[in-house]
Every structure is written in C-alpha cells, then in structure tokens.
A = this chain, B = another copy of it.
Amino acid sequence: MKNLHIQIEISSELFSKNPDSSDLGREIISKSIELINEIGFESLTFKKLGAVINSPESSIYRYFNNKQTLLIYLTSWYWTWTEYRLVFATTNVVSPEERLSKCINIITQPVEVDDDISYVNEILLSEIIFSESLKAYHTKNVDEKNKIGSFKAYKNVVQRISDIVLEINPHFEYPHMLISTIIEGAHQQKYFAEHLPALTDKIKDKNAITSFYIEIVNQILNIKQSQ
C-alpha cells in the first residue's frame, strides 16, 4: 500500500519541544527507532542515542523529559498513522464484515512496506510497537500519563474498530474488550513465537496469528466465512 504523504500531528502534551520542528528533532525520532530495534527499549539511554546522532544527551532532553515520553510519542505516532491506514483501507467498502476483516489484518500484522517519504521508518516502528509498546502504559504513572492524553491515538483505533463490530452486531456487549484483546494478543503471540514458543502454536505461515483472531471474530459475531 502506497500512502499519500500524510502529516502526522502529535498533541503538544506529549513532548517538551516538537521533534517534528527541527532537523535535530527528526533525527532523534528517526535514530531512536533504529536504536530501540537494535538494543531494545530497556537498554536505550539518551546518552547512547546522543552518541548515535552526535549530540549531547542534554539536547535530547529538550525534546523529551525521559525515554518513556519518547516511547509514548512513538506509539502515538504509530496509532495515529494506523488510524489513517484503517480509514484508507475501509472507505468505500460497503460490507461491515469486510471492513472489520481488513482492520483485523492491519492491527495483527507488523508493517512490511515503508512509504520511504518521511523520516519515520514505519517497518521498524511497527516492530517496536509489537515488542515494546506495552511498556508505554504498563508503568506506575499510567494514570497521570493517561490524564494528559498519552494514549488517545490508541483509544481512537480501538473505538473505530469497535464501531464496526457494533455495526455488525449492535447487541454485542464487549466490542472494546474484543478489539483490545486482539491487538494486544497479536503483539504477544508474535513475541511468544520468538521467545517462548511453548506459549503459542506452530506458526505455519506468517498469517497464522491473523487467521486465529479472524476466526475468533467470525465465530463470536456469527459471521459466515465467505471469502
């Protein structure tokens, strides 16, 4: 899928200085994505990131108060961008079943093609989301972060897909539970496949996880498998 060049806007609550407003800021985002992929979020320090971009750590602190804030920025970017993808994939699709199916595909698979335009490598970013994003909200200061809207973009995605679920079955009681279970589940199953295979099943093809969740959705919403 080739995207139009969309400008992702991130709420000003989520940074000290907008990284999208300067070369250094964009470099911080771009290289942090690469570095987190290489060494993992836990091992990331602003000192190491500074070394990569040839800037002192104090310069990075001007953009983000700490690395959790940076991770929240990255996840917000991803979910805002993913909402665009969802809209793009579902406009003009009449059948809600088909729209839902397309959405599940998008949320259960890491990105495979980069649009090559922006300074954000979407393939690597989606890898980070799958393996590290839960560290953004599984933290002692969730409530405080939530209050300033740190997880708004994620919530919007869950809400949007839940709406399709309700279109299909207006009496279904747990649409948000269903969608967040699928998103988080897909992330975890991929992690398990890589690190704790006993907690998942033999992954025949790369769509196994997607198929599993599609089947759950079809069953629980009584959707006849047509395609």
Query: Which of A's residues lie within 8 Å of B, judged by CB?
Result: 40, 42-43, 134-135, 137-140, 142-143, 146, 151, 154-155, 158-159, 173-178, 180-181, 184-185, 188-189, 191-192, 195-196, 198-201, 208-209, 212, 215-216, 219-220
Contact A215 B209 (CB under 8 A): no
Distance of A120 from chain B, by nearest CB (Å): 24
Residue of A40, A189, A198, A215 contacting most chain B CB atoms (<10 Å)? A198
In contact, A176 and B199 (Cβ under 8 angstroms): yes
* Closest chain B residue to A192, Cβ basis: B180
Minimum distance in angstroms from A164 CB to a CB of chain B: 15
Main secondary structure of the interface of A (DSSP, over half): helix
User: How far apart are the CA atoms of A199 and B134 in the complex, in Å?
Assistant: 13
Bound: A174/B146 CA distance, A = 34
The answer to whether residues A212 and B174 also contact, given A42-B139, A140-B43 and a CB cut-off of 8 A, is: yes
User: Which residue of chain B lies nearest to A173 when distances are taken between CB atoms in the complex?
Assistant: B201
Closest to A180 in B: B199
Contact A200 B180 (CB under 8 A): yes
Are A196 and B146 closer than 8 Å at their CB atoms? yes
Which residues of B have CB within 8 Å of A175?
201
In the complex, what residue of chain B is closest to A215 when comparing beta carbons?
B220
Closest 8 CB pairs of A and B: A219-B219, A155-B198, A180-B199, A181-B185, A142-B195, A40-B140, A174-B201, A174-B212
